[in-house]
Amino acid sequence: MIKFTRRIAIDDKDQTRVSVSGLIRMGKIQVKHKTAIICILSHWVDKGLWEWKQSDKNKGTCGYPLALVRGIKLLDKMLSGGMAEYPLYAAYGDKVWKTTEIKDAIDQLALAAFDSKYHPADPSRKKGLQRMSLEAFIWNGGIKGEPQPYTHAPFLYWHENKARLNDDAIPKKENKRRLLFDSMLSLYVAKSSLYGVSTLSNREHNRLVDMVETLWAWYKDNRKKLHPNDRTPDIIANAVGEVVDKWNFPVSIYAFTSETLIKQVINSLEQKATYIEMLVAPVEETPIEVTTLSPTAVLSELGGDMLQNFILYGMQQNVSIQNNSVDSAKLACFSNFTLRQVLRKYQRGELSPVKTESKTEDWRTILLKGVKG
């Protein structure tokens, strides 16, 4: 078992070496889970994080920092399931945290604090993580404001989010064209033979999203210019595949989403967007003018025999008499011009009366049964 020993200067004549693990075992720092806490503290030291030192200025037990003693007390509460009283931890209720879970969060903190590949990239922020005390790691209640995991409960932040690569610290853009995006991603994986679907960082994901949106915008604006058989999003993936097939392999994600490839794909698509749809202009039908006449007015002017002549002439001139609309008051006909011609011909004497088989038939009967020439 690793012992934690630090020099403490009590006075100029006496120097005593005090072990943190010894203080825990002897009960100088009273906790229930002694072995587990010593194991966690050992892991903290092995990762090179905040190093506590003894000093006569410290207010903790035996000259150790008070933040260390309070941190040990918090560790004991975590292992006992008594953290529900703290904001953010309340969401976990009376969860009894495991030693492995706490050590894993410490591992993630160490990656963020020391590894340049992990967020944050700013060296000053990394130094801040390296100097974080054990108490502040579990619960930093000294910072004012609404509780946030990264600042008030860093343990929960590293437990839930893990250490993130610098690229992954970039927010991931929303993927609005999921089917097309998945098709493009599958095409990239097939052409690159290097990366699996799950290896895209947020930066790479965002580049692929931007590429898909650019090609979709072209497709949306030019869809009607494509042949009806090509008016599906598959034409985009096919065009990308045709371009990439001409490139040397493997193809990186940055080349796959580059402006060069996008321009070549759009150029290929524009060569196919030459379809002209032949639209047949609809034939406009000339509206038929319907003139409504009063047969009593015609009879009063021309006499009874004129109506027979009028009907006969109208039928010869293809003027349709609508029997179903004829009643005692109205006669419907499709040409006002023809009616005027009939009147003029009668006035000039060019029309002669039509002899009917029965002179007793009135004009209503003739209209209803039709006229025989």
Q: For 274-298, write each residue's pLDDT tens digit.
A: 876 554 455 566 665 554 554 444 4
> Pick from 45, 32, 158: which is nearest to 102 by CA?
158
Q: pLDDT (tens digit, 9 = 90+) per residue, 56-71?
A: 888 888 889 999 999 9
Lowest-confidence region among 106-120, 263-277, 359-373: 359-373
Amino acid at 350: E
Helix (H) or strand (E) holding 8: strand 5-9
Longest Cα separation, the chain: 156
Look-up of token digits 């927010």 = 171
Report the C-alpha gap between 314 and 227 in whole angstroms.
54
Pair of tokens at residue 73: 């007390």
Report the C-alpha gap between 244 and 238 in whole angstroms.
10
Of residues 258 and 318, more confidence is placed in 258
Q: pLDDT (tens digit, 9 = 90+) per residue, 306-328?
A: 556 566 555 555 555 444 444 43
Note the pLDDT of residue 189: 84
Note the pLDDT of residue 224: 84
Per DSSP, the three-state class of 50 is coil
Pair of tokens at residue 279: 């639209």
Strands 291-293 and 331-333: antiparallel
Q: What is the mean pLDDT of residues 132-160?
A: 92
Note the pLDDT of residue 237: 86
Q: Could you tell me where the beta strands, DSSP code E, fall in the chain?
A: 5-9, 15-19, 291-293, 331-333
Indicate the burial class of 108 (C-beta count within 10 angstroms; 0-12, 13-18, 19 or more): buried
Q: Which residues contact 160 (CB under 8 A, 6 or more apart)?
A: 149
Confidence of residue 13 (pLDDT cuts 50, 70, 90): very low
Phi, psi torsion values for 86, nearest 5 degrees = -95, 140
Of residues 202 and 211, more confidence is placed in 211
Q: What is the mean pLDDT of residues 258-272?
A: 89
Percent of the chain topping pLDDT 70: 67
Confidence of residue 201 (pLDDT cuts 50, 70, 90): confident
Residues in the chain: 373
R_g of the chain computed on alpha carbons: 48
Q: What is the mean pLDDT of residues 34-57?
A: 92
Helix (H) or strand (E) holding 300: helix 295-302
pLDDT at 50 over 90: yes
> Pick from 368, 370, 314: which is nearest to 343 by CA?
314
Calculate the CA 253 to chain-centre distance: 22
Look-up of token digits 């045709």 = 242
Q: Which residues contact 268 (CB under 8 A, 6 or more apart)?
A: 239, 242, 243
Contact by Cβ (8 Å): 8, 27: no
Per DSSP, the three-state class of 317 is coil
Look-up of token digits 């321009």 = 263
Q: Is the bond into 233 cis (omega within 30 degrees of 0)? A: no
Q: What pairs with residue 8 in β-bridges?
A: 16
Q: pLDDT (tens digit, 9 = 90+) per residue, 219-234?
A: 888 888 888 888 888 8
Q: Could you tell me where the beta strands, DSSP code E, fall in 166-233?
A: none
